C-alpha cells in the first residue's frame, strides 16, 4: 500500500511538472529578465573579447550596463566593472592593457579607463558637458570623443556658466531660430555636438570641430562617424554643413588634423549621405557608407572606397542589391567584411578592396557588430533570432567554424520552449512576391484554432527580421496564446531596393494590398480562427493601423480590434510638427502646399466616416518624430464617431517606450485590449 501511495505521489508530481512546463508562458516580466548582451570588442592581442551586459531592474525602474571579458578561445566570462552606475562603450587601448569606457559614476558621463589585469580605474575627462563614444588613436596617445557644447563657447568654463544660467533661470522657454531645433526626444537648446580629443592619460580636452554645426550630425549620425588615421595625425569626421539641416541628408566626410586646422571635405561630389568612415590599416583607403540620392534617407547604402592617393571614390557593393549596414577592414587591408539584410536575415560578406564579387561567408542568422581579429584568423560578431537573444560568436576568417562565445540567456530562455519563426510567402499587389513570418505559441497544437495578431512594422523602410527584440517581440503575443503574423510588405528592407522604393508616394496603396493578401493567406491556415483577427503597429505601422480603421472592409476577413502606437493620422499636421522634413518631402513628393493632393490621398484622417473598429491609441509626449497630437486627433475622431476606444499617453517617453515600468504597463494594456476582443 505504501509503495502504491509513493508511486501515486511521484506520478502526481510528474504530472504537475509536465502541466507546469506546458502552461509556462513567456511574458513581459520574462522579457525584462533577459540579459542584453552586446557591443563586442576584440583585444589587439586577439585573446579576449570585451562586451557589455545590460540588466533591467523593474522595481527600481532602470537598466544598468556592465563590462565583461570572455576568452576568444572560449571559457567563462569575467565581469570587469561592478558599480551602481552603468559602464558602457568599452574600447581597447592599442596595447591591449586598458579599456576606455563611459560611466556617470562621478556625476556626468565621462571617459574612464580600467586596467584589465588589476582593475585600476582612472578618470580621463572632466568636461561639464560630459563625454561619449570614445575612440583611441592607433599610437595610444589620444582618445577622441563626442560632447554637446555651446558653439560660441571657447572653453568648458563658458559651457558650464551657460548651463548653470539655464538651470537657475525661472524661464524654461524653448527658443529656436532655425530648423532642426529638436530631434527624437530632445530639444537642442542652441547646443551642438562636437568631436574632442584628450590625452589618453588625462588632461585638457580640445574641440577638434569648432563651429556652428554638428559633428557627428544631430540626425543620421552615430558613434562610428569619426575615426583616426593609422598614423594618428588625422581624424575623419562626419558633418552636414547644409544651411537647412531639417531638409538635407547631405552629410559629408571631412579630414582634419588632430592638432586642429581647416577641415577638408572628401565627399563633396555626392549630395546624399556619406558616413561611417574607417581607415584601412595601411592608411591608403577610407571606406564609408554612402547614399547617392539627396534627401532620401532610405536610398541604398553602398560601401564606398576612397583612395587617398588619387582622391577618387568607387563602390565595392554595386552587385549587392541591399543596404550595407556595417563593415570592417581585415588587418591586411586587402579585404572588407560587411553585413547586409537579406530576406529577414543578415549574412556576413566579404569583398576585396580591388573590387570583384561580394562573397557570402556566414549565411545563417541576423549578424552584426563584426570585428576581425588582429591576427587575421577569426571574426567576432553578435547574433540573435526570434528564439534566442543576442550572444557573442566567433568564426574563422573564411566564415567557417561558427561557435558561441557566450550563453548568457540560454538556460533561462530555453525553459519556455519558444517556437522558431516560420517564413511564409504570398502574392501581393500587382503580383509581387511578398514574405513574412509566423510565430506560434510554445505549446502549439495544430488541431486547435488560434486567434491571429498581425504586427505591422515601422519605418516604413524597415523589416521584421529573425532577430530578438525588446519592444515588439512576437514571442510575447505567442505567449499570450496568439499566432503572430509579421508581414514584410513593400517598403521592407532586405528584398531589393526597388521593393524598398515602391512604398514612397504610395503609403496606403500596394503596401495595403500586400498586407491584406498576407492576412487573407494567414486567416486560411487550418489552425487560425479567422473570426478573431486583430492588428497592431507603431510609427508607420501605426499609420497603417489608422489607415485600416478607415478601410476595414475586406470581404475575406475582418479585423475585430486595432492597436495604434505613435501612428501618423493627419499627414499635413504631421509634416508641420515632425523634425526630419526630408522624410515627408521625399515620401509625399513635396510639401502639403506643393503637392496637396498626395497628402490628402493617403491621410487616414480623411476616412473618419468609415471608423468603427475598436482601437487602442498610444502616444508619447516626448515623441518628436510622430508627435502626440497625431494620436490625440485620432482619439478625438473615434470618440466622436462612437467607436469603442482607449487612449494611453506616456508623458516621459519618446517614440519608443523604454522605461521598464512603462514597458510592463504598455504590454499589459495592449494584451488586455486584444484579449477583450479576441478571446
Q: Establish if 160 belongs to a structural domain.
A: no
DSSP code of residue 482: P
Q: Establish if 525 belongs to a structural domain.
A: yes
pLDDT computed for residue 219 by the predictor: 81
What share of the chain in percent tops pLDDT 90? 95
Q: 438: domain CATH number?
A: 3.40.50.1820
Alpha helices in 350-484 (DSSP H): 410-414, 474-479
**Looking at the predicted structure, is the pLDDT value of residue 14 above 80?**
no
pLDDT band per the 50, 70, 90 thresholds, residue 19: very low
* Distance separating alpha carbons of residues 661 and 471, to the nearest angstrom: 13
pLDDT computed for residue 4 by the predictor: 38
Q: Across residues 34-43, what is the average pLDDT? A: 99
Could you tell me which residues come within 8 angstroms of residue 270 by beta carbon, excluding any fewer than 6 positions away?
Answer: 252, 290, 292, 313
Looking at the structure of the chain, the number of domains it has is: 1
* Distance separating alpha carbons of residues 176 and 484, to the nearest angstrom: 44
**Looking at the predicted structure, is the pLDDT value of residue 17 above 80?**
no
Q: Establish if 213 belongs to a structural domain.
A: no
Could you tell me which residues come within 8 angstroms of residue 505 by beta carbon, excluding any fewer than 6 positions away?
Answer: 587, 588, 589, 598
pLDDT band per the 50, 70, 90 thresholds, residue 151: very high
Query: How do residues 276-328 score in pLDDT, each as one tens digit?
Result: 999 999 999 999 999 999 999 999 999 999 999 999 999 999 999 999 999 99
**Looking at the predicted structure, is the pLDDT value of residue 20 above 80?**
no
pLDDT computed for residue 11 by the predictor: 41
CA 558, distance to chain mean position in Å, is 32
pLDDT band per the 50, 70, 90 thresholds, residue 222: confident
Q: Across residues 51-69, what is the average pLDDT? A: 98
* Distance separating alpha carbons of residues 651 and 621, to the nearest angstrom: 5
Contact by Cβ (8 Å): 114, 84? no
Output 18 or 468, whichever has higher pLDDT: 468
pLDDT computed for residue 223 by the predictor: 75
Q: Establish if 376 belongs to a structural domain.
A: no
Look over the chain and give the mean of its residue pLDDT values, rounded to a whole number: 96
pLDDT band per the 50, 70, 90 thresholds, residue 22: low
In sequence order, the β-bridge partners of residue 360 are 349
Q: Is 31 helix (H, G, I), strand (E, B) or coil?
A: helix
pLDDT computed for residue 24 by the predictor: 86
Q: Establish if 623 belongs to a structural domain.
A: yes
Q: Establish if 189 belongs to a structural domain.
A: no
Q: How far is CA 142 from CA 29, 65, 175, 295, 413, in A?
A: 43, 25, 36, 35, 42
Q: Across residues 568-597, what is the average pLDDT? A: 99
Q: Establish if 665 belongs to a structural domain.
A: yes
Per DSSP, the residues of 603-654 read: -GGGGGGG--S-EEEEEETT-SSS-THHHHHHHHHHHHTT--EEEEEETT--
Instruction: Please say whether the dihedral angle defined by the alpha carbons of residues 307, 310, 295 and 341, taken in this order, is positive or negative.
Output: negative
pLDDT computed for residue 221 by the predictor: 76
Sheet of 615-620: strand order equals 422-427, 433-439, 483-488, 450-456, 528-538, 559-565, 615-620, 645-650
Q: Establish if 585 belongs to a structural domain.
A: yes
Query: Scanning the structure block, which residue is given the C-alpha cell 500586400?
Result: 514
In this structure, the number of other CB atoms found within 10 A of the CB of residue 38 comes to 18
Domain range for 630: 425-462+480-678
**Looking at the predicted structure, is the pLDDT value of residue 618 above 60?**
yes
Could you tell me which residues come within 8 angstroms of residue 174 by beta carbon, excluding any fewer than 6 positions away?
Answer: 181, 182, 187, 189
* Distance separating alpha carbons of residues 484 and 544, to the nearest angstrom: 17
pTM for the model stands at 0.96
* Distance separating alpha carbons of residues 189 and 182, to the nearest angstrom: 8
DSSP code of residue 153: -
Q: Across residues 461-488, what is the average pLDDT? A: 99
In sequence order, the β-bridge partners of residue 87 are 103
Q: Across residues 113-127, what is the average pLDDT? A: 98
Amino acid at each position: 500500500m505504501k509503495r502504491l501511495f509513493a508511486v501515486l505521489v511521484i506520478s502526481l508530481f510528474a504530472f504537475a511538472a509536465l502541466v507546469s512546463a506546458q502552461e509556462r508562458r513567456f511574458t513581459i516580466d520574462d522579457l525584462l529578465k533577459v540579459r542584453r548582451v552586446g557591443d563586442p570588442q576584440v583585444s589587439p592581442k586577439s585573446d579576449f573579447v570585451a562586451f557589455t551586459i545590460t540588466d533591467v531592474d523593474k522595481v527600481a525602474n532602470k537598466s544598468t550596463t556592465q563590462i565583461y571579458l570572455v576568452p576568444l578561445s572560449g571559457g567563462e566570462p569575467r565581469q570587469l566593472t561592478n558599480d551602481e552606475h552603468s559602464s558602457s562603450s568599452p574600447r581597447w587601448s592599442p596595447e591591449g592593457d586598458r579599456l576606455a569606457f563611459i560611466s556617470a559614476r562621478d556625476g556626468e558621463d565621462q571617459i574612464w579607463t580600467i586596467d584589465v589585469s588589476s582593475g585600476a580605474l582612472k578618470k580621463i575627462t572632466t568636461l561639464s558637458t560630459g563625454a561619449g563614444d570614445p575612440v583611441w588613436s592607433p599610437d595610444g596617445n589620444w582618445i577622441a570623443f563626442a560632447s554637446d557644447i555651446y558653439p560660441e563657447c571657447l572653453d568648458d568654463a563658458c559651457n558650464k556658466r551657460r548651463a548653470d544660467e539655464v538651470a537657475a533661470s525661472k524661464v524654461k522657454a524653448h527658443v529656436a531660430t532655425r530648423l532642426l531645433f529638436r530631434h527624437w526626444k530632445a530639444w537642442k537648446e542652441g547646443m551642438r555636438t562636437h568631436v574632442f580629443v584628450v590625452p589618453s592619460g588625462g588632461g585638457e580636452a580640445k574641440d577638434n570641430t569648432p563651429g556652428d554645426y554638428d559633428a557627428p550630425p544631430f540626425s543620421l549620425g552615430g558613434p562610428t562617424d569619426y575615426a583616426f588615421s593609422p598614423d594618428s595625425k588625422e581624424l575623419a569626421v562626419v558633418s552636414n554643413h547644409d544651411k537647412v539641416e531639417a531638409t538635407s541628408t547631405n552629410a559629408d566626410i571631412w579630414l582634419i588634423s588632430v592638432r586642429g586646422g581647416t577641415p577638408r571635405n572628401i565627399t563633396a561630389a555626392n549630395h546624399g549621405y556619406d558616413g561611417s568612415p574607417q581607415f584601412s590599416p595601411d592608411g591608403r583607403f577610407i571606406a564609408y557608407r554612402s547614399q547617392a540620392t539627396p534627401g532620401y534617407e532610405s536610398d541604398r547604402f553602398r560601401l564606398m572606397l576612397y583612395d587617398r592617393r588619387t582622391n577618387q571614390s568607387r563602390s565595392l557593393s554595386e552587385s549587392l542589391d541591399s543596404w550595407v549596414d556595417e563593415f570592417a577592414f581585415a588587418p591586411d587591408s586587402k579585404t572588407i567584411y560587411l553585413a547586409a539584410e537579406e530576406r529577414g536575415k543578415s549574412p556576413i560578406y566579404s569583398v576585396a578592396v580591388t573590387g570583384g564579387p561580394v562573397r557570402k561567408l556566414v549565411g545563417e542568422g541576423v549578424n552584426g557588430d563584426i570585428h576581425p581579429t588582429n591576427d587575421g584568423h577569426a571574426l567576432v560578431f553578435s547574433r540573435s533570432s526570434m528564439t534566442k537573444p543576442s550572444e557573442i560568436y566567433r568564426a574563422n576568417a573564411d566564415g567557417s567554424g561558427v561557435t558561441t562565445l557566450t550563453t548568457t540567456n540560454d538556460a533561462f530562455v530555453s525553459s519556455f520552449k519558444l517556437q522558431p519563426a516560420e517564413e511564409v510567402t504570398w502574392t501581393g499587389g500587382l503580383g509581387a512576391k511578398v514574405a513574412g513570418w509566423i510565430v506560434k505559441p510554445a505549446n502549439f497544437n495544430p488541431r486547435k484554432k488560434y486567434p491571429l495578431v498581425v504586427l505591422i512594422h515601422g519605418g516604413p523602410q524597415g523589416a521584421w527580421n529573425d532577430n530578438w527584440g525588446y519592444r515588439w517581440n512576437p514571442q510575447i503575443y505567442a505567449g499570450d496564446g496568439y499566432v503572430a503574423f509579421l508581414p514584410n510588405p513593400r517598403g521592407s528592407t532586405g528584398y531589393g531596393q526597388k521593393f524598398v522604393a515602391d512604398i514612397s508616394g504610395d503609403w496606403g496603396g500596394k503596401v495595403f494590398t500586400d498586407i491584406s493578401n498576407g492576412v487573407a493567406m494567414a486567416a486560411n491556415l487550418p489552425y487560425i480562427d479567422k473570426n478573431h483577427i486583430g492588428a497592431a503597429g507603431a510609427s508607420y505601422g501605426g499609420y497603417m493601423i489608422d489607415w485600416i480603421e478607415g478601410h476595414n472592409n475586406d470581404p475575406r476577413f475582418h479585423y475585430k480590434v486595432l492597436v495604434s502606437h505613435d501612428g501618423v493620422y493627419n499627414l499635413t499636421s504631421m509634416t508641420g510638427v515632425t523634425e526630419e522634413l526630408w522624410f515627408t518631402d521625399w515620401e509625399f513628393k513635396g510639401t502639403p502646399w506643393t503637392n496637396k493632393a498626395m497628402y490628402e490621398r493617403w491621410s487616414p484622417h480623411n476616412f473618419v466616416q468609415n471608423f468603427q473598429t475598436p482601437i487602442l491609441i498610444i502616444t508619447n509626449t516626448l515623441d518628436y518624430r510622430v508627435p502626440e497630437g497625431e494620436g490625440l486627433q485620432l482619439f478625438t475622431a473615434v470618440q466622436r464617431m462612437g467607436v469603442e476606444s482607449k487612449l494611453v499617453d506616456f508623458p516621459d517617453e519618446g517614440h519608443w517606450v523604454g522605461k521598464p515600468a512603462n514597458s510592463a504597463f504598455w504590454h499589459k494594456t495592449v494584451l488586455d485590449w486584444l484579449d477583450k476582443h479576441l478571446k
